[in-house]
Amino acid sequence: MEQPKNILASLLKRNEEWAQDVETDKPGFFEQSARGQDPKVLWIGCADSRVPESVLTAVPPGTIFTTRNIANQFPLDDDSAESVLTYALKIGIKHVVIVGHTECGGAKECLSATRSPPIQPFPPALTRWLSPLMNLAEKYKNEPANFEEAIQLLVIDNIRKQFENLHQSPALQEAWNNGSEISIHGWLYELDKGLLSELFVSEGVKQVEGEGEAA
């Protein structure tokens, strides 16, 4: 890609060209878009630069309402996540996808830390944020011995945990209570293939894993 020094200039230029292309291909798109948004999907994903939701699903702006943070967390008492979900429900979202991914840096840091505690602790801001993931990582302190295998399992456990946390969201509880039909899904993005797949989906109080394993 472009030289790092000019990266912002190149982003602005690419944006300008993109805007022109869109206006040429779909005249009136932006004017229409500015009138309001009506996405049906909320994506709760990782801040990782390699997992941009609308690029990898090749959708136009206006499709996916999005929040992204380190290691795709939906913590139980997080104002940021809860306000996003609240707003998403208010504007008529029908599906919530919590999306984890392979090679997750947050998961790797946590697993490394449990297996060989670092000389330098994480900065406090990261320690606090990653503490739920650290707890999950404890389970894989010794087994499986292979780090890569353990990371795969931890990434999936993490998605499952956020999926479970979502069930407890006051906003979602209220929506279901009012009869709103909102489904929630746990997805995995495999970086080495560029592919999304569904792992978990809401079904009553049982979670059914996509591979066919019943709860």
Partner 1 sequence: MSQSTEQCENCVKPWPPAPGTIPPALQKLLDRNERWSEDIKAIGPKFFYESANRTQQPKVLWIGCSDSRVPEGVVCDVLPGVLFTTRNIANQFKPEDISVQAVLTYAVHLEIEHVVVVGHSKCGGAEAALKYVRGIPQDPLPPALFEWLQPLINLAQKYRFLPTNFDHALNDLIRDNIVQQHDNVLRSKALRNEGVKIKQPITVHCWLYDLEEGVLSEIASRFIGLEGFVE
Within positions 26 to 45, which residues make up the interface with partner 1, using CB under 8 A? 29-31, 33-34, 37, 39-41
Decide: is 53 part of the binding site for partner 1 (CB under 8 A): yes
User: 190, 103 in Cβ contact below 8 A?
Assistant: no
Decide: is 24 part of the binding site for partner 1 (CB under 8 A): no
By CB under 8 A, name the one of 78, 112, 113, 115 that touches partner 1: 78
Per CB under 8 A, the segment of 89-97, 111-119, 134-142, 147-155 that binds partner 1 is 89-97
Q: How far apart are CA 134 and CA 188, in angstroms?
A: 20
Q: How far apart are CA 206 and CA 56, in angstroms?
A: 30
Which amino acid, one-letter code, is at 51?
V
Decide: is 207 part of the binding site for partner 1 (CB under 8 A): yes
**Maximum Cα interatomic distance, the chain, rounded to a whole number of Å:** 58
By CB under 8 A, name the one of 24, 25, 27, 64 that touches partner 1: 64
Q: How far apart are CA 53 and CA 73, in angstroms?
A: 16
Decide: is 86 part of the binding site for partner 1 (CB under 8 A): yes
Decide: is 136 part of the binding site for partner 1 (CB under 8 A): no
Residue 198 has φ and ψ, to the nearest 5°, of -90, 130
Decide: is 57 part of the binding site for partner 1 (CB under 8 A): yes
User: Which residues inside 93-112 make contact with partner 1, applying CB under 8 A?
Assistant: 94-95, 97, 102-103, 105-106
Q: How far apart are CA 96 and CA 89, in angstroms?
A: 10
